[in-house]
Amino acid sequence: VKYSPRCKIDRLRPPSPPAIMHYSEHEAALLAEKLKDDSKFSEAITVLLSWIERGEVNRRSANQFYSMVQSANSHVRRLMNEKATHEQEMEEAKENFKNALTGILTQFEQIVAVFNASTRQKAWDHFSKAQRKNIDIWRKHSEELRNAQSEQLMGIRREEEMEMSDDENCDSPTKKMRVDESALAAQAYALKEENDSLRWQLDAYRNEVELLKQEKEQLFRTEENLTKDQQLQFLQQTMQGMQQQLLTIQEELNNKKSELEQAKEEQSHTQALLKVLQEQLKGTKELVETNGHSHEDSNEINVLTVALVNQDRENNIEKRSQGLKSEKEALLIGIISTFLHVHPFGANIEYLWSYMQQLDSKISANEIEMLLMRLPRMFKQEFTGVGATLEKRWKLCAFEGIKTT
């Protein structure tokens, strides 16, 4: 493939530099970070120069450009420190080279001394002709190398002496004054540059402090708003919890009130029943004394009277009867039904309570009796005996109650 001369020239040209990005606050912040990085300083300073030449500096962006120019000025100090470091490394390298060369020359002297001692007659006569020839060649070669190394070392020392003599010649009054004046001027210029740099740094720090204050105020306002929202949410949750607790307490209070009313009704009913029984007993005793009935007749009259009273009581309880409140009550009813089923003549509440306590130690006799009274179609209460032998027993009447329903 043949190329035209112009194409060949274009191919030989170096590649064009990358396009410089347009100015923006984000790009300026990235460029400021690059100016502080030694490895990216050359690329960053080129972009900064292009932006300034394009006229991107205005009142709004002046602070950012000022900080970037300040970073460029700070790089001068880094360059001077780097130069001083390299000069120090060069002096150390020279000193190390001179010391190494001195050590090499010392070893050459020792090797040449060995060759000279070998050529003395005391040892020379014992070597063969070929060995003598080789030793002589080695001695001459070592002496040449030693002389060359010695000449190089002497040259280094002469240069150091010349530098020292130049420094001594500079001690003349006129040269000394010139040197002092130039040193003072350089020192004054350095102090001026340092003063300007410090003043610029102070301005930049002030701007940064203002920005930090503004950011802190915004952050404080945001945190204050968040704190208020969190406190409000916490108070709302607390109020909801308190409302739920209040509702629960009210429900418990209503339950306790209903239980208290039931207990009062039961107490009044029991007192009325007791009065009726006392009157019945008195009447029964009078009938026995006057008519001379037997003991069995008095028991039958007592049982009939108690049955009538129980029937009236069951009618009242049936009006107030409620359904089961929990699974525990259903379980208690099943156990009590099984117990009374195997006791067809009934059992008093103490006997029933002692049996149930073996299964549940927390249950009370009053709780069992209240449960039995709530279910008049399953359990009925009968009184047997006369006088001191009068006893109240509970019987299972579920099989009779289901026939009457």
Q: CA 182 to CA 94: how far, in whole Å?
A: 28
| pLDDT > 80? residue 172 | no
pLDDT confidence of residue 350: 92
**Residues 384 and 393: beta-carbon distance below 8 Å:** yes
Which H helix or E strand runs over 403?
helix 398-404
The confidence band for 182, taking pLDDT boundaries of 50, 70 and 90, is low
pLDDT digit string, tens, across residues 40-90: 888 888 888 888 888 888 888 888 889 889 888 888 888 888 888 899 999
pLDDT, mean over the chain: 80
The answer, yes or no, to whether residue 323 has pLDDT greater than 70, is no
Predicted pLDDT of residue 14: 61
Reply yes or no on whether the pLDDT at 364 is more than 60.
Answer: yes
Q: Average pLDDT of 168-176? A: 55
Q: Report which of 272, 274, 294 is spatially closest to residue 284, judged by C-alpha positions.
A: 294
Q: Quick one: pLDDT band at residue 169, thresholds 50, 70, 90?
A: low
Give the integer Cα–Cα distance in Å for 368 and 33.
86
CA distance 377 to 375: 6
CA–CA separation, 375 and 324 (whole Å): 10
Query: At which residue do the structure tokens 């009590």 appear?
Result: 336
DSSP secondary structure code for residue 391 in this structure: E
Confidence of residue 338 (pLDDT cuts 50, 70, 90): very high
Tokens representing 116 are: 């000279």
User: What per-residue confidence (pLDDT) applies to 15?
Assistant: 59
pLDDT beyond 70 at 103? yes
Mean pLDDT (whole number) for 261-282:
81
Choice among 204-218, 316-330, 372-386 with the minimum mean pLDDT:
316-330
| Amino acid 312: pLDDT | 52
pLDDT value at residue 394: 92
Write the CA distances from 151 to 96, 145, 326, integer angstroms: 18, 10, 117
**Structural element, H or E, at residue 19:** none
Q: What is the pLDDT of residue 267?
A: 82
Does the pLDDT value for residue 307 go beyond 60? no
- The CA–CA distances, whole Å, from 201 to 28, 60, 157, 198, 322 equal 18, 19, 47, 5, 89
Task: Please state, in angstroms and rounded to a whole number, the distance separating the CA atoms of residues 61 and 69.
Answer: 12
With b for 16 or more beta-carbon neighbours within 10 A and e for fewer, the 42-81 pattern comes to ebbbebbeebeeeebeeeebeebbebbebbeeebeeeeee
More confident residue, 174 or 236: 236
Q: How far apart are CA 399 and CA 384, in angstroms?
A: 21
**Residue 386 near residue 298 (C-beta atoms within 8 A):** yes
Biggest CA-to-CA distance, the chain: 177
**Residue 347's beta-bridge partner residues?**
394
Neighbours of 331 (CB within 10 A): 13
The pLDDT of 352-379, averaged and rounded, is 89
CA distance 90 to 17: 35
Choice among 7-16, 21-30, 143-152, 185-194 with the minimum mean pLDDT: 7-16
The pLDDT assigned to 283 comes to 76
- Tell me what pLDDT residue 301 has: 47
Give mean pLDDT, residues 384-390. Answer: 75
User: What pLDDT is attached to residue 304?
Assistant: 47
Choose the weakest-confidence range: 159-173, 183-197, 227-241.
159-173
